[in-house]
């Protein structure tokens, strides 16, 4: 009888400790998110490109540092990789100038994500370390530089266009989370990300379709000076093209998320770093954006 009481009390203390921990993490997430928005929103709405370009350049540089650490680089080597990612991104942007990156780059990036992503995920967690370290590091550099160039080019198109891509990824993630929690039964990739389910993926895709319909309607009501990605796709590809494109974008966001989860699991870590309290690292926040932005620019070039 005494042992049962002790076990009950110990269980209660564990639950209280877990509740406090969850509350602390949630508080950190909210504070960090508010601080990020306080920095991001002025940069988004600035008439000049450079506030947004410099802010996101800092982000991809930090993500480059995280990528190096996840793939065996330590100390100054990882820092050097982050600086190299930022320097290469800025150099390419200055070289292409106002003309922007040729559309063929976005299509090459798309093909690399579809084919390469499918191959890497098919190899599983154990397959990632078997790829030569130099190749893994180089892939991360190309991935981050291409995504940054796509973000900057989207900003030159207009804020409405840029935000429609950002919100697509966020809507897919939120809808997938809640649908997965409510209906998730069949695991998507249990060895890579146990929490994801096929039902969650379907919910994320449905959420993106709803978002596309609402955004097109809003564009028409306020007569937006710059079309969103959805209005652009509807105008150029029709309703079926918009639906297929939206589903493809949502699906590729899942690939980006799973890809980064695989790399982290291979490295034996939960978060890419502790740069963003409550959120993990920068890669944890932009993983789904990495394939989606090049795809969005590819589709917009049709």
Mark whether 56 and 34 lie in a shared domain. no
Mark whether 103 and 245 lie in a shared domain. yes
Mark whether 123 and 254 lie in a shared domain. yes
Residue 123, pLDDT > 60, answer yes
CA distance 178 to 108: 33
Mark whether 155 and 220 lie in a shared domain. yes
Mark whether 229 and 178 lie in a shared domain. yes
List, in order, residues 6 or more apart from 187 with CB less than 8 Å away: 194, 196, 197, 198
CA distance 108 to 150: 13
- Count of structural domains within the chain: 2
Between residues 55 and 280, the one the model is more confident about: 55
Residue 261, pLDDT > 90, answer yes
Quick one: average pLDDT of 55-74?
95
Mark whether 108 and 153 lie in a shared domain. yes
CA dihedral 25, 30, 33, 38 (to 10 degrees): -140
CA distance 261 to 250: 17
Mark whether 144 and 14 lie in a shared domain. no
Mark whether 124 and 71 lie in a shared domain. yes
pLDDT, residue 14, reads: 43
Mark whether 139 and 245 lie in a shared domain. yes
Q: Torsions phi, psi of 228, nearest 5?
A: -75, 170
Residue 279, pLDDT > 70, answer no
Quick one: average pLDDT of 188-207?
93
CA distance 155 to 131: 35
Distances (CA, A) of 302 to 103, 114, 133: 9, 18, 36
**Mean pLDDT computed over every residue of the chain:** 87
Whether residue 139 contacts residue 172, with contact meaning beta carbons closer than 8 Å, is answered with no
Mark whether 286 and 151 lie in a shared domain. yes
Mark whether 18 and 129 lie in a shared domain. no
- For 78-113, write each residue's pLDDT tens digit: 999 999 999 999 999 999 876 788 899 999 999 999
pTM: 0.87
Whether residue 196 contacts residue 258, with contact meaning beta carbons closer than 8 Å, is answered with yes
Residue 258, pLDDT > 70, answer yes
Mark whether 258 and 282 lie in a shared domain. yes
Task: Kindly report the number of other CB atoms within 10 A of residue 280's CB atom.
Answer: 19
CA distance 254 to 136: 20
The range of the structural domain enclosing residue 272 comes to 49-300
């Amino acid at each position: 009888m005494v042992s049962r009481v002790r076990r009950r009390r110990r269980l209660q203390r564990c639950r209280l400790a877990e509740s406090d921990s969850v509350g602390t993490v949630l508080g950190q997430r909210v504070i960090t998110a508010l601080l990020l928005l306080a920095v991001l929103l002025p940069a988004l709405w600035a008439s000049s490109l450079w506030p947004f370009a410099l802010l996101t350049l800092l982000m991809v540089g930090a993500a480059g540092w995280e990528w190096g650490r996840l793939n065996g680089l330590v100390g100054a080597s990882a820092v050097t990789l982050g600086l190299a990612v930022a320097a290469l991104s800025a150099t390419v942007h200055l070289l292409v100038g106002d003309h922007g990156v040729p559309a063929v780059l976005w299509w090459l990036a798309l093909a690399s994500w579809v084919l390469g992503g499918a191959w890497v995920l098919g190899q599983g967690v154990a397959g990632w370390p078997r790829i030569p370290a130099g190749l893994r590091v180089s892939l991360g550099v190309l991935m981050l530089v291409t995504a940054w160039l796509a973000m900057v080019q989207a900003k030159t198109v207009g804020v409405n266009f840029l935000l429609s891509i950002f919100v697509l990824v966020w809507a897919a993630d939120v809808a997938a989370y809640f649908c997965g929690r409510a209906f998730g039964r069949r695991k998507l990739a249990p060895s890579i990300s146990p929490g994801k389910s096929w039902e969650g993926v379907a919910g994320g895709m449905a959420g993106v379709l709803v978002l596309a319909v609402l955004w097109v309607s809003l564009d028409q009501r306020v007569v937006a000076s710059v079309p969103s990605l959805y209005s652009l796709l509807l105008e150029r590809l029709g309703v079926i093209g918009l639906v297929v494109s939206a589903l493809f974008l949502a699906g590729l966001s899942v690939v980006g998320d799973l890809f980064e989860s695989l790399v982290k699991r291979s490295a034996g870590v939960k978060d890419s770093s502790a740069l963003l309290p409550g959120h993990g690292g920068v890669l944890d926040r932009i993983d789904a954006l990495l394939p989606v932005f090049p795809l969005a620019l590819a589709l917009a070039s049709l």
